[in-house]
Homo-oligomer: A and B are copies of this chain.
Amino acid sequence: MGAGIARLVLEKPGLELAGAYARRAERAGMDVGQAIGIAKDLGVAIEPDLTTAVKHTRPHIAIQATCSKLEDAWPEISIVLRHGVPIISIAEEMAYPACSSPAIAQEMHDLARTEGVAALGTGINPGFVLDLLVIAMTGVCARIDSITATRVNDLSPYGPSVLKAQGIGLGPQAFAAGVESGTVAGHFGFPQSIRMIGSALGLNIGRIEEERRPIVSKVHRETAFVSVAPGQVAGCAHTATAYDGDKPIITLVHPQQIRPELEGVETGDTIEISGMPSFRFEARPEIPGGRGTIAIAVNMIPRVLNAAPGLLTMADLPVPAAMMGDARQFLHARAEERHHG
């Protein structure tokens, strides 16, 4: 993800890649061009110490693509903010940080305000398909009774770490044990998406129940990274249901598997609103995940630079938009002054 974001930053007029930091020690000193797989050297070396990277390069904004969990993301975010640099993170738990830790979220908000900059979590999901887009669709409703949003995607292009987190290649019993022990995690981000929707709509969200079921393959399925025999697990059907009292009010469904087409499963995104009015919106196939996350992280740059200081969610900012032409045209006068004054 980090490499894709860096490549897109390099392509966009008005943006410059000021510097780069990587967690992996073996990348220290490597030219960014080589690290992100483009032919030429960029004259920007990967810095293994984040404080040094921020101090030396003095970026106008940072994009974090190093991890999924808030506790893991926070030390890096805190260093960036303490140098007065706004930040966009694609860590899934950053989509709605108060969900994992109200204390860290409050500390982050206070620090960002003290430093006069904004911090935002984004991504395709959480951050867009199963939350921001759902919220936007409800904008034309006088009343919401319930919401169901479904994302059926194809994990075939993904590597071992993603496949393992979905339990792909396991037998059904090993899958159940993995769910129990936490090694089969399924999708990261349901509670974040639910809290973002709940907060934006003023819903009364009580308990959230999550379920991870194995997608047991009837056929042989194979990718470059895994081979699944009939009877083995080809993916994880992960759902989350949020209740208002005993009434299910938000249901998010996200089955992720390899080679869905081999059993006639059509991929896609569907948002169903039941209320006044009721309607259904769908994309067939689904909006691409990896490319979407890369794009939205970069597209949010001017929104975050223009924003009031503090910790923000996607629901606090103007809608994302593709950024065509020179990125600097999207900066408001105040943001320009801050960064060039």
Contact = CB atoms under 8 A, between A and B. Distances in A.
Interface stretch (A52-60, A64-72, A109-117, A316-324): A316-324
A235 to B, nearest CB: 22
Question: Considering residues A128, A279, A330, which has the most beta carbons from chain B within 10 angstroms of its beta carbon?
Answer: A279
Given A202-B329, A318-B316, A124 B143 contact: no
Contact of A277 (B204, B287, B298): B287
Number of copies: 2
Interface string A251-286: 000000000000000000100000111011111110
Interface residues of A, number: 56
A284 B291 contact: no
A325 B203 contact: yes
Interface stretch (A19-27, A36-44, A133-141): A133-141
Given A144-B324, A202-B326, A203-B325, A139 B281 contact: no
B276 A291 contact: yes
A299 B202 CA distance: 12
Contact of A321 (B8, B138, B323): B138
A234 interface: no
A288 B141 CA distance: 10
Given A135-B321, A204-B325, A325-B202, A288 B277 contact: yes
B140 A124 contact: yes
Given A8-B142, A277-B288, 17 more contacts: A11-B142, A124-B140, A135-B319, A139-B296, A139-B300, A140-B287, A140-B292, A141-B322, A143-B322, A143-B324, A144-B324, A200-B319, A201-B324, A276-B291, A276-B295, A280-B283, A317-B318
B275 A279 contact: no
Given A201-B323, A277-B291, A325-B203, A136 B136 contact: yes
Interface of A: 8, 11, 124, 128, 132-133, 135-136, 138-144, 200-204, 269, 275-277, 279-285, 287-288, 291-296, 298-300, 315-326, 329-330
9 nearest interchain CB pairs? A139-B320, A140-B292, A138-B322, A202-B325, A136-B319, A200-B321, A142-B295, A141-B322, A277-B288
A278 B93 CA distance: 27
B135 A291 contact: no
A319 B279 contact: no
A121 to B, nearest CB: 15
Nearest to A313: B318
A141 B291 CA distance: 8
A287 B322 CA distance: 24
Nearest to A141: B322
Nearest to A283: B281
